Amino acid sequence: MTWPWLLAGGILVLALIGLYLSSTAGRLDRLHRRIDTSRLSLDSHLLRRSSVALEVAASGVLDPASSLLVVDAAHAARTAVDGPAQERAMTESVLTAALGAALADPADVLQARTSPVGDVLMDELAAACIRVELSRRFHNDAVRACRQLRRQRSVRWFRLAGHTPLPSTWEMDDTLPSGLRTGQGLA
Partner 1 sequence: MRIGLVCPYAWDVPGGVRSHVSDLALTLQERGHQVSVLAPAEDPGDLPAWVVDGGRPVSVPYNGSVAKVTFGLKTTRRVRTWIRDGEFDVLHVHEPVAPGLSLIALWAADGPLVGTWHSSTARSRILSAGYYVAQTAMEKLSGRIAVSEDARRTLVAHVGGDAVLIPNGVRVADYAPCGRLPGVDPDRPSLLFLGRIDEPRKGLDVLAGALASITAAVPDLQVIIAGPGDAQERLDRMDPSIRGHVTFLGRLSDQDKVRALRSVDLYVAPHTGGESFGIVLIEAMAAGTPVLASDLPAFRRVLLDGAAGGMFANEDAADLSREAISLLTDPAERARLASAGTERVQAFDWASVVEDVLAVYEAVTVTGEPVTEDLRGQIVGRLAGR
Q: Given the rule CB under 8 A, which residues bind partner 1?
A: 22-23, 26-27, 30-31, 34, 37-38, 40-41, 44-45, 127, 130-131, 134-135, 137-138, 140-142, 144-145, 148-149, 183-186
Closer to partner 1 by Cβ: residue 72 or 141? 141
Is 78 in a helix, a strand, or coil? helix
Minimum distance from residue 67 beta carbon to partner 1 (Å): 27
Closest-CA residue to 96 (of 9, 184, 174): 174
How long is the chain? 187
Closer to partner 1 by Cβ: residue 72 or 119? 119
Closest-CA residue to 134 (of 33, 34, 38): 38
Closer to partner 1 by Cβ: residue 76 or 132? 132
Is the separation of the CB atoms in 52 and 121 below 8 Å? yes
Minimum distance from residue 118 beta carbon to partner 1 (Å): 20
Is the separation of the CB atoms in 38 and 136 below 8 Å? no
Minimum distance from residue 88 beta carbon to partner 1 (Å): 17
Closer to partner 1 by Cβ: residue 76 or 161? 161
* Residue 170: Cβ within 10 Å count: 22
Minimum distance from residue 163 beta carbon to partner 1 (Å): 20
Closest-CA residue to 139 (of 51, 22, 60, 33): 33
Say which amino acid occupies 168.
S
Minimum distance from residue 151 beta carbon to partner 1 (Å): 13
Closer to partner 1 by Cβ: residue 57 or 167? 167
Cα separation, 111 vs 163, in Å, equals 53
